[in-house]
Amino acid sequence: MTNTDKLSILVVDDRPENLSSMRHLLQQPGLEIITAGSGNEALALMLEADLALVLLDVQMPEMNGFEVAELMRRNERTRHVPIIFVTAINKERRQVFTGYEAGAVDYLFKPVDPFVIRSKVAVFLEMKRSQLARERLVRELNGAYNRLQELSDRKSDFLSAASHELRSPLTVIKEYCGLVHDGVVGEPNPDQKHCMHVALRNCNRLAGLVDNLLDLNAIETGHMICDRDELDLPELLETCREDFSETCAAAGQKLELEVVAGLPTVLADPAQVTQVLVNLLGNAHKFTPDGGTIRLSAHAEGEAVRIEVTDSGPGVPAEDQGRVFDKFVRLQGGEGSTPGSGLGLAIAQRLVDLQGGRIGVEDGTDGGARFHFTLPRHSEGARLRAFIRDGIGDENLRESRCLLLLQTSADLGLTLVEDQVRTILRRDADRLSRIRYQGVDTLAVVLTTHRDGALTFLARLESRLAADRRDAGPVTYALHEIEAGSGDTDSDLDTIGFVRLDLGMVARGGNDVPQPYSRG
């Protein structure tokens, strides 16, 4: 593979006879030997060729070998080219290039031993070959990654275009069925009304399928916006129970809700938790026979709250429990039940993932199935981590960003600061949120700029606040860089040191107080 690469080395010596003897010594197939008679000529050639090695004579007039190497080190294009100095023994000077990249410098002493020089050169050629192979591999991987990304983008575009194209005619069909069903175009007889009722029900089913496909696609491509906040679960569970009680009552099913008193609040997106519950309750309703019971319950479990939906259906066979959350897996429904799309549980699982929880299924005590999921308890630290992750989206932080935390002594001050931040941010204002941090109301801003941009942003904020006649009070800020690939685990934030500086009305500087992150 790498043998096809033509490698080049440069030999630098002021004596033509040395150059030709080196050429004679080193020549081999696949190797180009370039020669230069002076340091200046050598530097010019280095800028043009991609060299595996430079053999550099130390004693040359005008510019000696060490001076050439010093100039090479200063140039981005040549600083990584390995060097073998060809020199008379001169131990003091050997220290000169200890700063050069490790392993990239070697020495040969005159008179040159043909065996030694051949083997040393062979080592550097091998290094160059593996470097080229590595670079080619990286290029290929990048190419493959980009192609996959492109395919994935195209799939999303197709899905979103297809859903639009599906919905428009579906809307028309549903509307015309509805016009007949609702008697707008003349009173239908009972059979006609029933026909339209069935047609409408299936229109809704198809619409639900389109919604599910789009939701799943949005989640999988990281476009599902997750807006987590402190959430009071009992209230949300009660609303779900009320909304579902009618559906259950129609089938003679009992829907029970049991919430342990003093349940801690959780950190979650209320709309998405509702969707998870709707999917799980819908599933339970479908599999529970008429007259059966569905139980919805919640209790604290360690650092999380566990929510359970238990049905009195046939249960999920042990061999299926591992795959019920896969896409398009459809469980054997009760007799005469409408088959599902096989997407409801898959969506539930991904939505629970987004909240940082876990979902699962087990056998219920009475032979039915028990679906359960956890949601993390609300805490300041958890909220801050959630803000960072949600604000950044699921793009896995392709580039580093900055998180800015701003605090003032008074709420009014924070409001003024928020106004100014919004003015400066404008289009990025959705990356701004108020959170509780270390017991204080805090404005958290994710800046898409790197550190320099973030500092510019701070300077603008400072001058705006100074120009604002109203006293915002002392504003303290903490700025840290979120490294690529981080942002959603506890340890990422532990490593971040907070620096607080007074800003605004108080002169800045001088009091850098490292403030370690404390878990909320």
Partner 1 sequence: MMCHNRILVVDDEPDLRSSLALRLRGAGYEVRTASTENDVVGEVLDATPQAILLDIRLGAEDGLGIMERLGRISGAREIPVILLTASSHPGDRERAARHGAAAYFTKPFDPAELLDAIEDVLAVPA
Residues that bind partner 1 (CB under 8 A): 160, 163-164, 167-168, 170-172, 174-176, 178-179, 182, 184-185, 203-204, 207, 211, 214, 218, 223-225
Identify the CA nearest to 25 among candidates 130, 107, 120, 109. Answer: 120
Query: Rounded to the nearest whole angstrom, what is the least distance from the CB of residue 227 to partner 1 in the complex?
Result: 11
Smallest gap from residue 170 Cβ to partner 1 (A): 6
Determine the residue type at 27: Q
Q: Residue 112 or 210: which CB sits closer to partner 1?
A: 210
- Under a CB-based contact definition with an 8 Å cutoff, are residues 277 and 255 in contact? no
CA distances (Å), origin 415, targets 297, 418, 463, 475: 40, 5, 17, 12
Min CB(207)–partner 1 separation in Å: 5
Q: Which is nearer to partner 1, 134 or 164 (CB)?
A: 164
Cβ 293 vs Cβ 312: under 8 Å: yes
Shortest spacing between CB 171 and partner 1, in angstroms: 4
How buried is 413 (Cβ within 10 angstroms: 0-12 exposed, 13-18 middle, 19+ buried)?
Answer: buried
> Of 270, 261, 273, 258, which is closest to residue 230 (Cα–Cα)?
270
**Minimum CB–partner distance for residue 427 and partner 1 (Å):** 12
| Dist. CA 380–CA 444, nearest whole Å | 12
Q: Which ranges of 62-189 does DSSP label H, i.e. alpha helix? A: 65-74, 91-94, 114-181
Cβ distance to partner 1 smaller for residue 93 or 223:
223
By C-beta, is 94 or 197 nearer to partner 1?
A: 197
- Is the CB of 156 or the CB of 379 nearer to partner 1? 156
Considering the complex, state which of residue 64 and residue 355 has its C-beta at the smaller distance from partner 1.
355
The label of the residue with tokens 């606040």 reads 465
| CB of 176 vs partner 1, minimal distance in Å | 6
**Comparison of 224 and 382: residue with beta carbon closer to partner 1:** 224
* Token reading at 189: 């007889």
Rounded to whole angstroms, the Cα distance separating 348 from 345 reads: 5
For residue 387, give the nearest of 520, 207, 189, 298 by alpha carbon: 520
CB-wise, 187 or 258, nearer to partner 1? 187
Q: Give the other-Cβ count within 10 Å of 7's Cβ.
A: 21
Phi/psi for 438 (5° steps) reads 50, 40
Q: Supply the minimum distance, in Å, between the C-beta of residue 197 and partner 1.
A: 14
Rank residues 255 and 343 by Cβ distance to partner 1 and give the closer one: 343
Contacts (Cβ under 8 Å, ≥6 apart) of 325: 345, 346, 348, 349, 359
> Least distance (Å) from partner 1 to the CB of residue 175?
4
Q: Amino acid identity of 153?
A: D
Per DSSP, what are the bridge partners of residue 293?
254
Answer for the pair 344, 279: CB distance below 8 angstroms, yes or no.
yes
Q: Are 430 and 437 in contact (CB under 8 A)?
A: no
Residue 360 CB, shortest distance to partner 1, in Å, is 28
Taking the complex as a whole, the smallest distance from the CB of residue 177 to partner 1 amounts, in Å, to 10
Identity of the residue, 172 or 410, whose beta carbon is nearer to partner 1 in the bound complex? 172
Nearer to partner 1, 135 or 182 (CB): 182
Beta-carbon-side half-sphere exposure of residue 84 (alpha carbons within 13 Å): 24
**Is residue 411 classed as helix, strand or coil in its secondary structure?**
helix
Contacts of 195 (CB under 8 A, 6+ apart): none
At closest approach, how far in Å is the CB of 283 from partner 1? 22
Which class for 357: exposed (0-12), middle (13-18), buried (19 or more C-beta within 10 A)? buried
